[in-house]
Every structure is written in C-alpha cells, then in structure tokens.
C-alpha cells in the first residue's frame, strides 16, 4: 500500500499578541502543525541573522492598543522540496496605518534557504487590522516566527496517530 505524505505550515502568534485568526492550532510529533509566533524582539542566536534597515516610522506592536491582527488566517505552504525537515523563519513585518503589508523581511531562518520563500509569500499577501496608538491607526512593526513541521508522515514516524 502506498503511503502519501502531506506537509503543512501554519502561523501561530505568541500569547502576548495572539489574534484569534492564528491562535492555538497545534499537534504532536505524529501530526503536529507548525507554529508561528510574533516576538517582541528579533532573535539573534543564529548564523543566518540578517541585518535589517531601521524602521523608525513604525511603532512596535507591543506599545499599541490594540496591536495589528491578521484579518484572516495566514497559512504558509510547506515547500515540497523540504521533504521531512522541520525548520523556522523569523520575519519582520511592517504594516501600514490601513493594515496593508508595506514590507516583510527575513530576520533569521533555520535551516537557511529552505522555508524563507514560503513565509515571505504568505505574509506579503496578508492583510491586517491596523495597530492603534492613542486611538489613531499607525504604522506598526511585528516580528513573527513561522515554524514548519511535516505532518502525516506515514512510515517516517513510528507509533499511532489519531
């Protein structure tokens, strides 16, 4: 009997900025969905760290009330070329005062060169509610960690899956 392998990537934010559109969909190693977590600071523990241009006109999401939230779920596609590898990509997303994505850039990726295109494509196409400062919509900046885990790996994983 042939075993099919299906992969999926998913964006899930950290609790501090968890919009309902991205929250809480996880599975274990026998079928776990990848996660995406907005972070307050870019992570600096990787050799693939990228130097980004300053964005002084953008407000950090943690100082906004409410911060920007995705209008609909953001589900990056798990690249077929990744096989059964797991990985993550940290993105810096610049959001306009109207909620459109002005720019998205890779801060770091592990492993490098495998998942960046998928994450960039998904977040470039995303639409957000704007972040507000003192009741006024403003340009905002968020960091998002997109995790990639293959699911439904058939014979590649031992044990039962439900």
* Residue 100 phi, psi (nearest 5): -85, 150
Least reliable range by pLDDT among 27-41, 99-113, 133-147: 27-41
Local structure of 45: helix, strand or coil = coil
Looking at domain 6-154, its CATH architecture is 2-Layer Sandwich (3.30)
- For the segment 29-52, the average pLDDT, to the nearest whole number, is 46
Average pLDDT, the chain: 74
pLDDT for position 153: 56
Q: Token pair for residue 46?
A: 């990787």
Per-domain residue ranges of the chain = 6-154
pLDDT above 90 covers a percentage of the chain that reads 57
Tell me how far CA of residue 139 lies from CA of 22, 117, 119, 122, in angstroms.
Answer: 21, 24, 21, 20
Kind plus residue range of the DSSP H or E element containing 123: helix 116-124
Average pLDDT over residues 68-73: 96
In contact, 16 and 142? CB cutoff 8 Å: no
pTM flag (> 0.85): no
- Structure confidence by residue, pLDDT tens digits, 48-66: 455 788 888 999 999 999 9
Mean pLDDT of the region 77-85 = 92
Q: Which secondary structure element, helix H or strand E, spans residue 116, and what is its range?
A: helix 116-124
Q: Is the pLDDT of residue 140 over 60?
A: yes
Whole-angstrom CA distances from 13 to 36, 158, 162 are: 5, 29, 25
What is the per-residue pLDDT across 100-135, written as a single tens digit (0 to 9) for each?
Answer: 999 999 999 999 999 999 999 999 999 999 999 999
Confidence of residue 154 (pLDDT cuts 50, 70, 90): low
Reported confidence tier of residue 73, pLDDT bands at 50, 70, 90: very high
């Amino acid at each position: 009997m042939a075993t099919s392998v299906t992969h999926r990537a998913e964006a899930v934010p950290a609790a501090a900025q968890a919009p309902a559109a991205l929250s809480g969909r996880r599975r274990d190693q026998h079928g776990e969905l990848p996660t995406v977590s907005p972070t307050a600071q870019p992570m600096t523990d990787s050799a693939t760290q990228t130097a980004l241009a300053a964005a002084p006109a953008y407000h950090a999401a943690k100082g906004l009330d409410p911060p920007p939230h995705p209008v609909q779920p953001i589900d990056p596609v798990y690249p077929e070329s990744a096989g059964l590898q797991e990985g993550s990509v940290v993105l810096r997303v610049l959001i306009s005062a109207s909620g459109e994505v002005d720019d998205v850039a890779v801060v770091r990726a592990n492993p490098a060169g495998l998942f960046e295109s998928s994450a960039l494509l998904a977040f470039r196409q995303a639409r957000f509610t704007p972040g507000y400062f003192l009741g006024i919509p403003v340009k905002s900046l968020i960091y998002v960690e997109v995790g990639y885990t293959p699911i439904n790996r058939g014979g590649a994983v031992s044990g039962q899956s439900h």
